[in-house]
Structure 1
Amino acid sequence: MPTPVEVVAYDDAWPQAFAAMSKHLVSLLGLAVIAIDHIGSTAVPGLAAKPVIDIDVTMRGAETIGAGSAALIASGFVSRGNRYDDGVWAFVRQSSPGQRVYLCPPFSDTHQRRLIFRDHLRQSREMADAYAALKRRLAATFPFDGDSYTAAKTQFINEVVELAKRG
């Protein structure tokens, strides 16, 4: 069944939700974790977003991702697979707000690009506002098609990452 693509106003509770989720992930994954990062639109203060907390968990090595995956699944997450074909494994859990966790190997390009994008939006209100407007337009265009919604944001994201890399 398709789920609605809903973009909502920023919620000041999202950072606290991330902090609680982060503690839970550390308890599940233990010493295999190098870092836990709040990524995605809910990580940018003031930015409209889907009410889903996106979290990248950098693991000590690709070999720790299997055990980490099993721990997430045992705790109620659903595997979405290797979504980017680069060793990053995705998991979702229905909650309020929703949770999307990505187990990343060290030095993951996907993870680094997400951090660059997030940090640039945090630093540029103009760029964050442009992204929010795009997200609202795309949510109206693809109200029940999350894959198309996500794919249609790719060009904007790539342009912001390249702009940020140039400094």
Structure 2
Amino acid sequence: MGHARDTERDAILIGGREQRAIVIVDYDDVWPSMAASLAQKIQDSLGPAALSVEHIGSTSVTGLAAKLVIDMLLVVADIDDEESYIVPMGSIGLRLRVREHGHRMLRTAELDFHVHVLPPETAEQIDYLDLRDWLRVSTADRALYESTKRTIAAKTWSDMNYYADAKSAVIQHILSHARNWRADQPTG
């Protein structure tokens, strides 16, 4: 990856870039209950400031292999009002890792939970949910995504964010299917 992307990352990452091994493990039936437990803690700590809390990412898709990181999506009315959510989430062990325009990410010290914070009705929020929901119903795209993750996880990455970058083409491909599927779903 080029220096421009590194400079961009350095500006948004709290604590700098990290080199860690990416390990993909088979699906674990305990992940949904772990996510539900954290979602409840977030709701309890934030009250009405938490507009929604959702389990997203690979651990939210039954049968999909994943990194041992449970991703959550927290929607708040005003992402720039960090005091309303960062301080309370600190009391449940979450610390700010990413601060960028329109997106924050907090994580646990154990690195087993990532909470992505977004304002309502963003394209990123919709994409997270569409990707999750589509992978839950599409065996073919679920297999493609898992195969891609296992292949790229086997490489050595100087920063774990490069692993995420390497998945972006297949994610965009799968998202195109997810968006078409979502458009065909009944509303109401």
TM, length-normalised to structure 2: 0.80
Query: Counterpart of 1:81?
Result: 98
Measured in 1, the distance between the counterparts of 2:80 and 2:129 equals 23
Q: State which drifts further: 42-51 or 143-152.
A: 143-152
Question: Among residues 24, 33, 36, which one is paired with 2:53 in the alignment?
Answer: 36
| SS of structure 2 residue aligned to 1:107 | coil
The alpha carbon displacement at 1:77 in A equals 1.8
Q: Give matches, 1:8-47, under 5 Å.
A: 8-47=25-64
Amino acid at match of 1:10: Y
Unaligned runs of 5+ in 2: 1-17, 182-188
| SS of structure 2 residue aligned to 1:20 | helix
The alpha carbon displacement at 1:78 in A equals 2.2
The alpha carbon displacement at 1:63 in A equals 5.2
Q: Give matches, 1:109-124, under 5 Å.
A: 109-124=123-138
TM, length-normalised to structure 1: 0.90
The alpha carbon displacement at 1:101 in A equals 0.5
| SS of structure 2 residue aligned to 1:12 | coil
**Identity level (%):** 29
Query: Counterpart of 2:13?
Result: none
Amino acid at match of 1:92: R
| SS of structure 1 residue aligned to 2:51 | strand
Amino acid at match of 1:145: D
Provide the aligned length of Structure 1 versus Structure 2: 164
Query: Counterpart of 2:24?
Result: 7
Question: Among residues 132, 146, 149, which one is paired with 2:160 in the alignment?
Answer: 146
In our comparison, the structure showing a higher alpha carbon Rg is 2
The alpha carbon displacement at 1:35 in A equals 1.0
Query: Counterpart of 2:65?
Result: 48
Measured in 1, the distance between the counterparts of 2:25 and 2:162 equals 18
Q: Is the 8 A contact 1:7 1:48 kept in 2?
A: yes
| SS of structure 1 residue aligned to 2:24 | coil
Measured in 1, the distance between the counterparts of 2:116 and 2:28 equals 22
Amino acid at match of 1:156: V
What per-residue deviation string (whole Å, max 9, x for no partner) do you get for residues 26-73 of structure 1? 111111111111000000000000011100011133354442012223
Measured in 2, the distance between the counterparts of 1:164 and 1:26 equals 28
Query: Counterpart of 2:117?
Result: 103
Measured in 2, the distance between the counterparts of 1:63 and 1:5 equals 31
Measured in 2, the distance between the counterparts of 1:31 and 1:64 equals 14
Question: Among residues 89, 93, 101, which one is paired with 2:108 in the alignment?
Answer: 93
Unaligned runs of 5+ in 1: none
Q: CA RMSD in A?
A: 1.8
